[in-house]
Structure 1
């Protein structure tokens, strides 16, 4: 298993206080998705979690998992949007 490092971190706002976190790898994203995720169980959530796990095992590029994670974060309204996203 690898970390599955992203080319650029994904910034999300999590928790009740809206703490900002910079997610830099598929492993970090998978841990967040498997924890207290607002839209857990949605199709995008499931796709992102699978993509992160596949990136950690080397089956898909880490940035494919990054893209899936961004979609799930956007759906859950936790993505901190930047002009470059």
Structure 2
């Protein structure tokens, strides 16, 4: 497995205080989706986890995972745009 680097970082607000994190690869996105997601279980959340896992395995490009993660983050209202 490798980290599957994104072409451009994704900024998200996390935690109670809304700390800004800049995610640069599918590993970071997958870890956030898996361990620290407040709205888990939606279709977009599951799609993003699947896309990140596939990117980490080399099955899809990192930017496919990036796009799926953005959709899930937008739905969860944590995407910083």
Same structural fold, with TM-score higher than 0.5 when normalized by the shorter chain: yes
TM-score, normalization by structure 1: 0.94
Partner of 2:80: 80
Alignment gaps of 5+ in structure 2: none
RMSD: 0.5
Secondary structure of the residue that 1:38 maps to in structure 2?
A: coil
TM-score, normalization by structure 2: 0.98
Deviant stretches of 4+, over 3 Å: none
Describe how 1:1-16 pairs up with structure 2 within 5 A.
1-16=1-16
- Number of residue equivalences: 81
Which whole-Å deviations, capped at 9, do the CAs of 1:20-79 have from their partners, x for residues lacking one?
000000000000000121210000000000000000000000000000000000000000
Structure 1 CA distance for aligned equivalents of residues 26 and 38 of structure 2:
18
Structure 2 CA distance for aligned equivalents of residues 77 and 29 of structure 1:
15
Partner of 2:42: 42
Secondary structure of the residue that 2:12 maps to in structure 1?
A: strand
Question: 1 or 2, which has the higher helix percentage?
Answer: 2
Structure 2 CA distance for aligned equivalents of residues 47 and 3 of structure 1:
18
